Amino acid sequence: DADVTQTPRNRITKTGKRIMLECSQTKGHDRMYWYRQDPGLGLRLIYYSFDVKDINKGEISDGYSVSRQAQAKFSLSLESAIPNQTALYFCATSDYREGLTADTQYFGPGTRLTVL
Amino acid sequence: AQTVTQSQPEMSVQEAETVTLSCTYDTSESDYYLFWYKQPPSRQMILVIRQEAYKQQNATENRFSVNFQKAAKSFSLKISDSQLGDAAMYFCAYSFTGNTPLVFGKGTRLSVIA
């Protein structure tokens, strides 16, 4: 089974709808991230969380909210979806341990969201 | 703010040949980490190689190696003996520490010609 899972894998919705993208991980990592990928723009950070009680905005947080329900779960919500939120969304995790500064970020398979 | 620039939107290489993908970055930090990620058509993000800025030796992983020029803030990826499976989008990324948010470049799409 995959270490980082995202649901749904694909979603088509309409303008104004509320959408939740979910991310779960079995890696036991403390740190979780949400990125958005647009063609020609690379990946940009939406939100990140260093533990359950620590949530931070990223570069493009407007129009999004997150919830860290548990160490293993980090959800991204679009309260009222709009067409320019059509993108590929990635969840990622990384580990933090005292003295460890070079751990890799592990990515989920991505969610393709289309807002009509 | 840190920025990462990939100046080659698209590249192509003949199978078995060598290709170099360019990446430059801007940061005021002295210690940081640089990464190359591969994204094949499956869209999965796969770590190819990483480099710690405090290490002078260039990182290598099998056919993949980097040319890290700290003073020039340059971090290029060399793929030797290119294979059809190397065809993908490649992203250069920076982080202040190895497990803080990544800053990505816009990517380079690599095609491998048989």
Q: Residues B104, B91: contact at Cβ < 8 Å?
A: yes
| Cα Rg, chain B, nearest whole Å | 13
In this complex, is the C-beta atom of B50 within 8 Å of any C-beta atom belonging to chain A?
yes
Task: Using the structure block, give the residue that is written with the tokens 């190819």.
Answer: B48
DSSP assignment letter at A109: -
| Helix, strand, coil abundance in chain B, percent, nearest 5 | 5, 50, 45
Q: Distance (Å, rounded) from C-alpha B73 to C-alpha B88?
A: 24
Of A26, A21, A36, A14, nearest in space to A93 by CA: A26
- Closest CA relative to residue A57, chosen from A76, A42, A73, A40: A76
What is the per-residue pLDDT across A38-79, written as a single tens digit (0 to 9) for each? Answer: 988 999 999 999 989 999 999 999 999 999 999 999 999 999
pLDDT exceeds 70 at position A99? no
A102: pLDDT confidence band, cut at 50, 70 and 90?
A: low
R_g of chain A computed on alpha carbons: 14
Please judge whether B98 and A42 are an interchain contact, meaning their C-beta atoms are less than 8 angstroms apart. Answer: no
In chain A, % of residues over pLDDT 90: 78
Which residue, B12, B104, B19, is CA-closest to B64? B19
Q: Which two tokens stand for residue A56?
A: 């931070």
What is chain B's pLDDT, residue by residue, as a tens digit (114 residues)? 789 999 999 999 999 999 999 999 999 988 889 999 999 999 999 999 999 888 888 999 999 999 999 999 999 999 999 999 999 999 999 998 756 799 999 999 999 999
Residues of chain B in contact with residue A51, where contact means CB-CB under 8 angstroms, are none
- Identify which of A31, A40, A109 has the shortest CB distance to residue B44: A109
Cα separation, B25 vs B20, whole angstroms: 16
Work out the minimum CA distance from B103 to partner chain A, whole angstroms: 7
Contacts A107 to B, Cβ<8 Å: 44-45
Best mutation target among A101, A103, A111, A113 (most B Cβ atoms within 10 Å) is A101
